[in-house]
Structure 1
Amino acid sequence: MKAKYISTFPLVSLLVSTLIVSQVCRAQVVGQGLDASPKIPQTTPTQETPDLQDDQTDDVKAILDSLTLDQKIMQLMFVRLSGVLAPSSVDSKLLEMLTPGGIILPEIGSASSTIEYVELVRKFEAANPGSIPFFIAGNAFAPTDSEVKNSNRFLNMPSMLSLSASGENEDAKELFHTVADNFHRMGLNTHFGPSLTLASDLNNSLGSLYTFGDDPATTANAAGSLLTAFYTNDILWMPSGFPGGEANRTGNGPAIMLTPGPHFIERDGLPYFIAIKHGVPIIHVANTLAPTIDPDMKPASVSRKVITSLLKGTLDYKGLVISGPMDGPYILTKYEPEAAAVQSIVAGSDMLLWSKTSPQIPKAIALISNAVRNGNIDEALIDNAVLRILTLKSKFGLFDRPLPEVRQALKMQNENEKLGVAQRIEKRAATLLKNDANLLPLKKDLSTPLFITGIVDLQPLKKILAKELKYVNHFEIKTAKHTGRVEDFELRRLERTAKGVRTALCIFDNRIDARSQAQVIAELKKKNLKVIVVLLGYPRDINTYQSADALLLLYGATTSLNATISALSDILLGNAPVTVLSDSKPLTRPTNQTITFDVLDVIQSPTGRLPVSLEPFFPAGHSVSYAPTSIKSVHWDFGDNARSNENRAEHIYTQPGQYTATLTIEVSDGTTASGTFAIDIQ
C-alpha cells in the first residue's frame, strides 16, 4: 500500500534550494560569534515530513491501550541482529522474549537469502502483542569485508565516494531506484543509512569511502536522489549520522563534529536540513561529540541540546528520531548502556539503536520501566513515542504488507546481472589527477613493454592489457597483504624483474603503508622508467605519490575489485566516458575570422572529479583530461546552418549576431554526450 503522503521532487529544484540555503546561511552568519545558534533559512518544502502527532488514528490508539508498560518500551528498541543468514539463537531468544519496534539485518546478501531471512523474522512479528509489524531494515551501502561476501550480494554496489566522483548522472539514479525496488521485493521496509556526514578535513583522519565527499551541496543532492527512490518504492529511508562529523575520527577516539554553530546549516547540517525539508520520515542520531552544539561534550545520541533543541527545535523536525547505538564503543567508555538509554529517551529520542542482541537490551527496558514507575520519566513521554512509531507504521502500510515472494529472487538476480550499473559508475568516477607527457591512455607503440606491479591480484588486469598491448609483464607484491607494507626484499625482487621495459604501472592499495609503496616508485625511477600510479580506495597520503608521472584514482573498495578492475582496464586503454564542458560565457569574435573548434578543448575524459580536497596538492573538483579512444563520431552544429563531423573543425561566421554552437559526441558504448557554446559575433 503506497503511503498517501509520498511524493517525489525534481532534483534540479533540490539543488537550487540547496544553493539558496547555503547563500542565505552565509549572509545570516556574518557578524555572529562562534557560540551563536544556527539560523534557519526560509524555504518552501516540496514534501512535508509525515505528521506523526495529528494523524494518530483510533486503531493506533487502541493498540497502544492494549500494551503493558514494558511492551510499550519494547517498541522503542531498534536492534541489529547478529545472525548473518538467519536469526541466531541469541536473536531468536530475544525476539521471543520481547518485541522490538525495529530490527536491522546485519548484511544484505543474495536476494534469496534476504527473502528467507525476512520470512523468518516475520514469524516472530505475527506472534507479538497486537501483531505489530517490525521496521525491517538493511543498508545496501554498508561495506563488505571480503570479495566472497561482495560477490554474493543482491547487487554489486560502488562506493559512495565513487558515486560522488562520477557526478550527477542517470546511472546513479538508476542504482538508487534499483536498491529501493529490490528492498521492497525482498520484503524489507526500511533502509538504514547511508550517513550524510561529510568527508573529514582532519589531517590525521583515515578517510572513508563511505561518504559522498566534502561538499555539502553534493551530499544534499545525493540525499534528494535517495529520498525520491525510496519514497517511490514504499521504503522508509533513515539517513544516519546526525549531526555529522562521523568521519572526523582518529585512531580509536570518538568522532567529533567541529563546525561552529552559526555555520552548521551551511556545512554539516545542510544535507540533513534538505532531507528534513523534503519529508524524510526517520533520522538517526549518532554517538558523535558536537562541542559547538553541546559544550557539555555529551554524545549526540544522549544530548538534549542536539536532539530536542537543534533537531526538533531549530530544524523543526517532526519525524522519528532513532539514537545510538547505546552499546557503541564510545558510549561504553562513558556510561552503562542501560543508563545511556534512559538519558537518550529523556533527551528526546523516540527509539534506541543497539549494535547487537545482548542482555543489555532487557536491562535497559527494565531500567526505563523503573524510571517511569518511580516518576523520573513521565509515562506520557513513552506513550507519545510509541504512538508516533505506530502511526508511521500505519501510514506506511506496514500492518498489511504481504510476505515477499521467493520467486522474485531469481528474477532480481537476472535483472541485476544485466544491469552493469556499478561498473558504469566506477568507470565514470575514475579521476585522472596528473598525466605528464600524456602517458595515458596506454598505446602499443609508445607504452610497451609494460611492467605491472602492485599489491592486489594483477592477473585479471594483465590478461586484459596484454590482449591489447601484447608486451606486458607483471610482479605481484604478495607479502604486503599480510604485513601492511612493501618489504625491502620485495623491492630487490622488483628491481630484478623490471628489466627491459619502458613503462611501469603500479596498482597501489590505500590500506598499505604509503611510504613503502612510494619506495616502489623510487626503484622504478632509478631505471629511468615512466611510472603510472593507480591508487585504489580513499586517496589519503597523496603527497607520497607525487613523483609518479601519472596519477589515477579509483574509489572502489579493494575487497571488491571486479567492477573496479574492469573499469580500470578501460580507462587505461582510453575507452573512457566523455563529458562535454559547456560554457555559458560567450566567445566574442569579429565577423569573417576563422574560429577553431577542437573537441579535446571542450571535453572531460575520464569524467571523474576529485570528491574530497587533497590540499595543498589537489583541490576538490580537480581532474585532468586525456585524448580518449572511445569517441566514435563527432557532430558540430555552428548555429548558422553550417555543420562539421571533424574532431578539429574551423568555421567562419560571416554575419554579426548571437549564435549557439552545439557539439554532440557518440561514444563507443552507445552513449552520447552533448553541450552548447554561446558565440557572439560582432
Structure 2
Amino acid sequence: MRKSSFRRQTAVATAVALTLGAAPAMASAATPQPSPASAQTGQSSKAEQYADATLQAMTLEEKIGQLFILFAYGPTAEGEDPRNTALYGEASAADIIDEFEPGGFILFSARGNVTDPVQVATLSNGLQDAAEDAGAGIPLLVSTDQEQGIVTRIGSPATLFPGNMALGAGGSEKDARKAAAITGSELLAMGIQQNNAPDADVNINPANPVIGVRSFSSDTDLVSRLTAASVKGYQDDAGIIATAKHFPGHGDTATDSHTGLPVITHTLEEWKQIDLPPFQAAIDAGVDSIMTAHIVVPALDDSGDPATLSREIITGQLRDALGFDGVIVTDGLEMAGVRQQYGDAEVAVRALEAGVDQLLLPADPRVAYTAVEDAVASGRLSEERIDESVHRILLMKYDQGVTADAHVDVDKVLQTVGKRAHLRAAEKITDATTTLVRNDAESLPVSVEGKSVLVTGYGETTGRTLAAELTERGADATALATGTAPTQAQIEQAVTAAQANDVTVVLTNNVSATSRQKQLVAALDATDTHLIVAGVRNPYDVNQLGDIENFIATYSYSAPALVSLAKVITGEISPQGTLPVDIRSAADPSVILYPFGHGLTW
C-alpha cells in the first residue's frame, strides 16, 4: 500500500456538487438519521447521486481502502504506540489512516481506546480529522461491539444493560427496543456510528463457548422478535447503524471461532427453521448491515469453507435468497476460524469473491491490502466488483449522515451518555429480567438487615459490587473472590468465612462438569450458613450444582444485573424473569429440568 501522493478532496467535492446541485442540509452525526429502509425516495436518490459521484472520483487505491475496517492501539488519534508500528509500520491511528485510507475504524477497550465517554468522543473526532486529510477525504464509519452484558466495550458512566439473554428473560420487545435506542444514542453522542449488534444467533447448544448469553434465547421466535425490535431501536430511534450477527447462525457450536473452526451440522430444513428466521426478521426491520460467521455449514456449502468465504452462503443465501442488499461485513479476519485453511492474503480476496463488502480486522493489513490490489491487477477481482461494495458503503455513510459532518460536540457528550432518564430506564428493564429458577423451602427472599453477609465465588469486582448493594440494604457485607477455578485452599477459606456469617451468597460463572466451582458450592452448602446461589452468566449452571435450595439467574455480571440481584435476594422486588432457554439434566440431556418460560416469584 502506497501513501497518496496528492489529495483528492477537491475533485470529489466538485463531482458531488455537480451531481447534487446545492448540498442538502444535514444534521451532525449525533442527530438520528433515517436508515436506508425507512428513508424517503428523495433522500435515497440523493444518497445514490452522492455514492455515484464520489465513486467516480476515487482512485482504485481509495476504493480498496473503503473495504477495510482497522483499529489502532491507544486513546488518541495522534498518540504513538509501538504495537501499531509492529502491525502497520505506522505509529499512530492518524498515520495508519493516512497510509491505508480505511473505510472504517473499530474501537476496543482492551486495546486502549476507551477510558471515558469524553475521551471516546475526542478520539472519534481525531480519527475523522485524519480521514479528512487522507486520500479522498471520506469520513470513517467508527464502530464498536457494544452488545451489552458480557460484551461491553464502554462501561460506566455509559448506561449499561445486562445483555441479550437477560432481555430474552424479560421477553419484552418494547424493552429490547428501548435498550437498543439508549445504547445507540449514547454511542452516537460519542462519535460511534455503527454498533456490531444485535446478536441474532439462536443459542440451542448449552455448551456454546462463544455465544451463550449473547443470544436472546434458544427459541427462534423470541430471538426473531427481539432482534427486529433491537434493530428498530438502534436505527429508527437512535439513528445508528445496526449489524445483525453472525450469519448464517452461530448458536449451535461447541467450538469458539476465535480459536477454531466450528461446524454446524443442521440440515437445510433445520437451518431454515432455527437459524434463518432472526436474520430474515432483521432484514424485514431494515437492518443496514449483517456480519458473517467463521463457521462451516455443510448443508449450505459442502466445500468445507467457512461461511465468510463461501459464495454459496454469502451471495447465494444472504444476497439472492434473502434479498439483502445492505452492507455485509466479515467477523474479525484475525480470528483462527477463518485463517485455518488459507493464508491472510487469500482470505481477504476469497471474502470479497464470496460477496462481502467490509473486511474487518485483517491479521496482516498490509498483506491483505496488497492481495486485493494484486487480485484486481490480475483480473481475479474486477474493479466493478470492488465498486459494488464501495457503493453500498458510501450509501450507508450518506444515509447515516457522516458524509455531512462526522464530528460530535465533545462538550455535550455527557448530556446524553449516562443521563438520569437512561439509567432509570436501564434499572427498570433489568429488574424485569432476574429469574428465580429454584426456591426450595422458600429460602428466598431473606432479610439482611443487621446480618453479616459473605459474597464469594466468581469475580472480584462482581463480588464487591454485590456486597456494596447488600450493605446499602442494611447488611454488614464482605466479599471474598475465589474465581472460576478455586483451589482447595480458597474453598476452605470461603467455608471458614461462611461459618462466621449469617448469610452467604455464592456467585457462579459457567459451571462445567469438571469445574471446581461445584466443589465450592457443595462445601458451602454443607455449612450452617443461609446459602444463596446465583449464576451471573449462563443459567445452565444450575444443572451442575446438585440439590441446592435456591438458584437465581442474572445472565450477566454487569452492575445493573447485580443491583437487581440484591433487590431480589432481599425481597425489595419480586423476580419477574422467565427462562429464555430449556435447562436440561447434565446426566441425561433428554430430560428437561426447567423448561423455557419457567420462573418462580413470590
Please indicate the TM-score interval, normalised by the length of the shorter structure.
0.7 to 0.9
Moved more, 449-458 or 167-176: 449-458
Q: What is the one-letter code of the residue matched to 2:601?
A: Y
* Aligned with 1:293 (options 284, 287, 300): 300
Aligned residue runs from structure 1 range 430-579, under 5 A: 430-443=434-447, 453-457=456-460, 458=463, 461-462=466-467, 465=470, 477-478=480-481, 480-481=482-483, 484-499=484-499, 504-510=504-510, 515-527=515-527, 531-557=531-557, 560=558, 562-576=559-573
Q: Give the structure 2 partner of residue 611 of structure 1.
A: 580
Q: Give the structure 2 partner of residue 234 of structure 1.
A: 239
Asked whether the equivalents of residues 51 and 318 of structure 1 are also in contact (C-alpha less than 8 Å), the reply is no
1:235-285 Cα offsets, whole Å, 9 max, x none, are: 222222111116613363223333321232321111111111222222121
Deviation at 1:310, TM superposition (A): 0.6
- Residues 220, 109 of structure 1: alpha-carbon distance in 2 compared, 3 angstrom cutoff: farther
* Aligned with 2:598 (options 597, 618, 623): 623
Asked whether the equivalents of residues 455 and 477 of structure 1 are also in contact (C-alpha less than 8 Å), the reply is no
Deviation at 1:506, TM superposition (A): 2.8
Q: Give the structure 2 partner of residue 333 of structure 1.
A: 340
Q: Give the structure 2 partner of residue 222 of structure 1.
A: 226
Asked whether the equivalents of residues 220 and 278 of structure 2 are also in contact (C-alpha less than 8 Å), the reply is yes
Identity of aligned residues (%): 21
Q: What is the one-letter code of the residue matched to 2:147?
A: F
CA distance, structure 2, for counterparts of residue 50 and residue 262 of structure 1? 37
Q: Give the structure 1 partner of residue 53 of structure 2.
A: 62
CA distance, structure 2, for counterparts of residue 133 and residue 497 of structure 1? 57
CA distance, structure 2, for counterparts of residue 314 and residue 52 of structure 1? 27
TM-score (norm 2): 0.80
Answering whether residue 312 of structure 2 is matched by residue 305 of structure 1, we say yes
1:432-480 Cα offsets, whole Å, 9 max, x none, are: 11111111111479x978665434455664565467676x676x554x3
- Residues 370, 145 of structure 1: alpha-carbon distance in 2 compared, 3 angstrom cutoff: closer
State the secondary structure of the residue aligned to 2:196.
Answer: strand
State the secondary structure of the residue aligned to 2:359.
Answer: strand
Q: Give the structure 1 partner of residue 142 of structure 2.
A: 136
* Aligned with 1:322 (options 315, 325, 329): 329
CA distance, structure 2, for counterparts of residue 162 and residue 131 of structure 1? 42
CA distance, structure 1, for counterparts of residue 94 and residue 129 of structure 2? 11
Asked whether the equivalents of residues 149 and 556 of structure 2 are also in contact (C-alpha less than 8 Å), the reply is no
Q: Give the structure 2 partner of residue 581 of structure 1.
A: none
Deviation at 1:200, TM superposition (A): 4.3
1:488-533 Cα offsets, whole Å, 9 max, x none, are: 3344445545448776543333379864333344334445666431
CA distance, structure 1, for counterparts of residue 42 and residue 535 of structure 2? 47
Q: What is the one-letter code of the residue matched to 1:274?
A: A
Gaps of 5+ in 2: 1-25, 85-92, 585-590
* Aligned with 1:380 (options 374, 379, 384): 384
Q: What is the one-letter code of the residue matched to 2:571?
A: G
- Residues 84, 542 of structure 1: alpha-carbon distance in 2 compared, 3 angstrom cutoff: farther
Asked whether the equivalents of residues 109 and 153 of structure 1 are also in contact (C-alpha less than 8 Å), the reply is no
CA distance, structure 2, for counterparts of residue 93 and residue 297 of structure 1? 38
Q: What is the one-letter code of the residue matched to 2:295?
A: T
- Residues 58, 461 of structure 1: alpha-carbon distance in 2 compared, 3 angstrom cutoff: closer
- Residues 128, 555 of structure 1: alpha-carbon distance in 2 compared, 3 angstrom cutoff: same
State the secondary structure of the residue aligned to 2:212.
Answer: coil
Answering whether residue 62 of structure 2 is matched by residue 71 of structure 1, we say yes
CA distance, structure 1, for counterparts of residue 592 and residue 414 of structure 2? 48
Asked whether the equivalents of residues 511 and 544 of structure 2 are also in contact (C-alpha less than 8 Å), the reply is no
Q: Give the structure 1 partner of residue 201 of structure 2.
A: 197
Answering whether residue 375 of structure 2 is matched by residue 371 of structure 1, we say yes
Aligned residue runs from structure 1 range 129-168, under 5 A: 129-141=135-147, 151-152=155-156, 154-168=158-172
Answering whether residue 413 of structure 2 is matched by residue 406 of structure 1, we say no
TM-score (norm 1): 0.72
CA RMSD of aligned residues (A): 3.6
CA distance, structure 1, for counterparts of residue 599 and residue 175 of structure 2? 22
Asked whether the equivalents of residues 109 and 154 of structure 1 are also in contact (C-alpha less than 8 Å), the reply is no
- Residues 55, 162 of structure 1: alpha-carbon distance in 2 compared, 3 angstrom cutoff: same
Asked whether the equivalents of residues 231 and 287 of structure 2 are also in contact (C-alpha less than 8 Å), the reply is yes
Asked whether the equivalents of residues 33 and 401 of structure 2 are also in contact (C-alpha less than 8 Å), the reply is no
Moved more, 171-180 or 115-124: 171-180
1:634-661 Cα offsets, whole Å, 9 max, x none, are: xxxxxxxxxxxxxxxxxxxxxxxxxxxx
* Aligned with 2:74 (options 55, 70, 83): 83
CA distance, structure 2, for counterparts of residue 204 and residue 104 of structure 1? 26
Q: What is the one-letter code of the residue matched to 2:593?
A: F
Q: What is the one-letter code of the residue matched to 2:329?
A: I
Gaps of 5+ in 1: 9-45, 577-604, 628-682
- Residues 263, 626 of structure 1: alpha-carbon distance in 2 compared, 3 angstrom cutoff: closer
Task: Give the structure with the higher percent helix.
Answer: 2
Task: Give the structure with the higher percent strand.
Answer: 1
CA distance, structure 1, for counterparts of residue 176 and residue 411 of structure 2? 27
* Aligned with 1:95 (options 94, 97, 107): 97
Q: Give the structure 2 partner of residue 277 of structure 1.
A: 284
